[in-house]
């Protein structure tokens, strides 16, 4: 079947086109004419003054008020720009005035950063923005950077400036640098050139450059670093600091290479200066150093207080109180301390506290004046007197004297460094030139002039050995006092001389023994209440219940004087002597000794003798042991023999071997009588 629909549609379309060709030009003219007519009518009705168009900057095409723009990448807004005015384009960059740029985080949790400036340039191709004049950049929620020129690099999300910058964290810190760079993505802030950071606590940090790691809460410094706190400062070539979260306040700072520091007490009376290779300082929340740790060639100097001090070692640790005053110091590895003047201390470890107390560990040496103490684990207190103590074996050298003991306590005059007092306990020993000795305990006083030995002391002198329960020596006077169980032995003599007593007092001239005195020398024995041995004259004097044994000769008396040079023993007072079967009693008797044997006995001032049953009396009597003769003299000289009666004469000579008694009259004539000798 033939369709007519298609030819009709074509005819309708053709007619419509013809109509539009005629109508459209007319309609266009009408649309143009209406606005023109309205404009003409308004202009004719009122005369409006001409609007002054602001002069555009050179090379700009147009000026637009109220510019806004946002850049979106990956479905997220990277940053937005708001400006009061847009000055157009120059070199494909938008020129803006009174700008605020908001840089959004890469995640929802990341904070926004805003940058403001008087002028800026926006590069549409790179997305970089350059800011000029009165630039403010929010580095984080609390910190603002101010400068005159700044660049935001969109690709790296880095804010940077080569112009001087000021940092401000209200209630936290202020800072400045010649250049800076801040990476938004990592939170790393780099400052260069004359970096200065001052916290609200008063801590000042200066360096040539610094890098702050915001997310990790630490910073590094280089090109010279200075940290100042309320009570001191520390300086080094480079270092690192641990920071309080979300602040620039250091809680731990470590500096290295040519480090120097100083800490002052609040009252200003004491100051500590330190030099080292590396130093760590722990800073309190109120900006005061609380702990110091120095490593490598450490030297610490203290001035003020009781005395200046210098402490050195490979490692030194210090703790400070809330006001910055040093409380403890601990030096290790070849530690050395100058206590003041000529006082030095060396040890494996040296510690000291605020009270001036010093202690050591391991092997230690203290040099003070002419005294040297060697041992371990010392305790030293410094004041007007230097007090020393060790509970471990130690030795002391002072001039020619050397002492040692299990425990040592000493006091020195801090001004003169002279030894004032020394007490050593347990296995005490000493040497001083030709003298030496030992005891359980010893005490040295008066600058070493007075020495007291206790606990069975034994003193070896050039010519004598001295023992007692207690011995006190005064070296200044050259004297000693020994008490209880005294025992002396002469050395380097032909005969060994031993003396015991309850007490002995000696000087350069001699020794005086008292109470229960006994003397032994070869075959000689003397007992008395008191005995004086003279060194100068080489004599002995005994008194008080004197008893002596000279070989086969025994005697008792009130007193005895012996002259070793003359070889004479002189008995006085109630003398009673006996040799073999001969006994003599008299007030005065002299005994001559030759070749360690009695060579003559002479009784004076009235004498009575016995020989077996024979009795004799006279004013004087002389006994010769070699010839075994007894000579009685005096007016009343007599000999009584029970068998033959009494024989009298001015001089009676009895000879035991010849059984004879020779009697001489007063005129000198001789009478001889024979008597049997029993």
* pTM: predicted TM-score of the whole model, two decimal places: 0.70
More confident residue, 41 or 162: 162
Which of 19-28, 153-162, 223-232, 577-586 is predicted least confidently?
Answer: 19-28
The predicted structure's pLDDT at residue 193: 95
Cβ-based burial of 224 (10 A; exposed 0-12, middle 13-18, buried ≥19):
middle
Which of 23-27, 103-107, 332-336 is predicted least confidently?
Answer: 23-27
In angstroms, the CA 308 to CA 340 distance is 6
The predicted structure's pLDDT at residue 464: 87
Q: Is the dihedral of CA 167, 169, 171, 172 positive or negative?
A: negative
The predicted structure's pLDDT at residue 22: 47
The predicted structure's pLDDT at residue 307: 63
- Is the CB of residue 159 less than 8 Å from the CB of residue 182? yes
More confident residue, 490 or 528: 528
Q: What is the pLDDT of residues 284-296, one digit of tens each?
A: 887 777 888 999 9
3-state secondary structure of 443: strand
Residue range 15-24: mean pLDDT, rounded: 45
In angstroms, the CA 134 to CA 295 distance is 46
The predicted structure's pLDDT at residue 202: 83
Phi and psi dihedrals of 493, rounded to 5?
A: -120, 160
The residue with tokens 């350069």 is 508
The predicted structure's pLDDT at residue 42: 45
The predicted structure's pLDDT at residue 496: 83
pLDDT-derived band at 492, boundaries 50, 70, 90: low
Instruction: Count CA within 13 A, CB hemisphere, residue 533.
Output: 23
The predicted structure's pLDDT at residue 636: 76
More confident residue, 672 or 663: 663
In angstroms, the CA 178 to CA 191 distance is 7
The residue with tokens 């005015």 is 85
Q: What percent of the chain shows pLDDT beyond 90?
A: 47
Residue range 520-534: mean pLDDT, rounded: 90
Residue range 250-259: mean pLDDT, rounded: 90
Q: At CB < 8 A and 24+ separation, what contacts does 558-566 make?
A: 560/526, 560/528, 563/537, 563/538, 563/539, 564/538, 564/539, 564/540, 565/537, 565/538, 565/539
The predicted structure's pLDDT at residue 493: 59
In angstroms, the CA 468 to CA 389 distance is 27
Residue range 204-227: mean pLDDT, rounded: 92
The distance of Cα 209 from the centroid of its chain, to the nearest Å, equals 37
CATH number, domain 537-674: 2.60.450.10
Q: Which two tokens stand for residue 540?
A: 């002995």
Which residues contact residue 91 at a Cβ distance below 8 angstroms, ignoring those fewer than 6 apart?
none
The residue with tokens 């050139």 is 193
pLDDT-derived band at 167, boundaries 50, 70, 90: very high
More confident residue, 621 or 7: 621
pLDDT-derived band at 121, boundaries 50, 70, 90: very high
Q: Which two tokens stand for residue 361?
A: 């560990």
* pLDDT > 70? residue 453: yes
Beta-strand pair 250-264/270-283: antiparallel
Q: What is the pLDDT of residues 406-428, one digit of tens each?
A: 999 999 988 888 888 999 999 99
The predicted structure's pLDDT at residue 80: 93
The predicted structure's pLDDT at residue 393: 96
Annotated domain spans of the chain: 537-674
Under DSSP, the state recorded for 446 is G
pLDDT-derived band at 348, boundaries 50, 70, 90: very high
Q: In what helix (H) or strand (E) does residue 604 lie, and over which residues does it extend?
A: strand 597-611
In angstroms, the CA 543 to CA 272 distance is 70
Under DSSP, the state recorded for 393 is -
């Amino acid at each position: 079947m033939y369709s007519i629909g298609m030819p009709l549609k074509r005819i309708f379309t053709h007619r419509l086109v013809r109509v539009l060709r005629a109508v459209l030009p007319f309609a266009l003219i009408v649309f143009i004419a209406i606005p023109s007519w309205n404009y003409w009518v308004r202009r004719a009705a009122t005369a409006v003054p001409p609007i002054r168009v602001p002069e555009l900057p050179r090379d700009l095409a147009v000026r637009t008020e109220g510019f806004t723009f946002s850049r979106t990448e990956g479905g997220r807004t990277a940053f937005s720009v708001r400006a009061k005015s847009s000055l157009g384009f120059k070199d494909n960059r938008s020129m803006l005035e009174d700008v605020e740029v908001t840089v959004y985080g890469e995640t929802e949790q990341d904070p926004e950063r805003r940058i403001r400036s008087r002028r800026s340039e926006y590069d549409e191709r790179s997305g970089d923005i350059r800011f000029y004049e009165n630039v403010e950049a929010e580095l984080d929620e609390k910190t603002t950077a101010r400068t005159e020129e700044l660049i935001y690099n969109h690709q790296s999300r880095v804010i940077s400036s080569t112009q001087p910058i000021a940092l401000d964290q209200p209630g936290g810190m202020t800072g400045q640098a010649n250049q800076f760079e801040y990476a938004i993505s990592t939170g790393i802030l780099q400052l260069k050139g004359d970096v200065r950071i001052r916290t609200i606590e008063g801590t000042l940090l200066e360096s040539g450059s610094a890098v702050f790691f915001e997310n990790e809460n630490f910073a590094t410094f280089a090109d010279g670093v200075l940290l100042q706190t309320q009570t001191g400062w520390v300086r080094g070539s480079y270092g690192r600091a641990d920071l309080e979260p979300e602040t620039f306040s250091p809680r731990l700072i470590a500096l290295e290479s040519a480090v120097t520091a100083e800490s002052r007490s609040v009252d200003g009376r004491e100051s500590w200066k330190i030099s080292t290779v590396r130093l760590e300082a722990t800073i309190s929340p109120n900006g005061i150093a609380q702990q110091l740790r120095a490593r490598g060639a450490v030297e610490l100097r203290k001035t003020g207080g009781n005395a200046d001090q210098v402490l050195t070692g490979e490692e030194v640790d210090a703790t400070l109180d809330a006001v910055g005053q040093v409380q403890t110091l601990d030096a290790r590895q070849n530690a050395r301390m100058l206590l003041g003047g000529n006082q030095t201390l060396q040890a494996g470890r040296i510690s000291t506290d605020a009270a001036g107390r010093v202690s050591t560990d391991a092997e230690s040496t203290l040099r003070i004046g002419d005294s040297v103490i060697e041992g371990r684990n010392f305790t030293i207190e410094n004041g007007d007197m230097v007090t020393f103590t060790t509970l471990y074996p130690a030795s002391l050298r002072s001039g020619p004297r050397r002492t040692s003991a299990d425990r040592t306590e000493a006091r020195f005059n801090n001004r003169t460094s002279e030894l004032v007092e020394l007490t050593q306990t347990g296995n005490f020993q000493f040497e001083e030139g030709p003298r030496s000795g030992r005891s359980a305990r010893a005490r040295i006083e008066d600058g070493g002039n007075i020495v007291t030995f206790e606990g069975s002391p034994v003193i070896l002198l050039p010519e004598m050995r001295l023992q007692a329960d207690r011995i006190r020596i005064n070296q200044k006077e050259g004297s000693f006092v020994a008490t209880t169980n005294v025992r002396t032995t002469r050395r380097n003599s032909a005969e060994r001389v031993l003396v015991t007593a309850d007490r002995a007092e000696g000087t350069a001239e001699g020794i005086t023994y008292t109470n229960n005195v006994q003397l032994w020398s070869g075959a000689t024995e003397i007992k008395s209440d008191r005995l004086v041995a003279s060194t100068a004259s080489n004599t002995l004097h005994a008194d008080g219940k004197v008893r002596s044994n000279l070989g086969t000769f025994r005697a008792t008396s009130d007193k005895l004087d012996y002259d070793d040079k003359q070889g004479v023993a002189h008995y006085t007072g109630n003398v009673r002597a006996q040799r073999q079967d001969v006994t003599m009693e008299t007030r005065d008797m002299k005994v001559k000794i030759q070749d360690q044997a009695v060579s003559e006995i002479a009784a004076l001032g009235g004498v009575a003798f016995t020989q077996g049953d024979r009795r004799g009396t006279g004013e004087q009597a002389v006994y010769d042991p070699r010839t075994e003769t007894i000579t009685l003299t005096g007016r009343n000289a007599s000999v009584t023999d029970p068998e033959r009666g009494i024989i009298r004469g001015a001089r009676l000579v009895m000879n035991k071997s010849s059984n004879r008694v020779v009697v001489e009259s007063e005129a000198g004539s001789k009478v001889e009588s024979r008597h049997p000798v029993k």
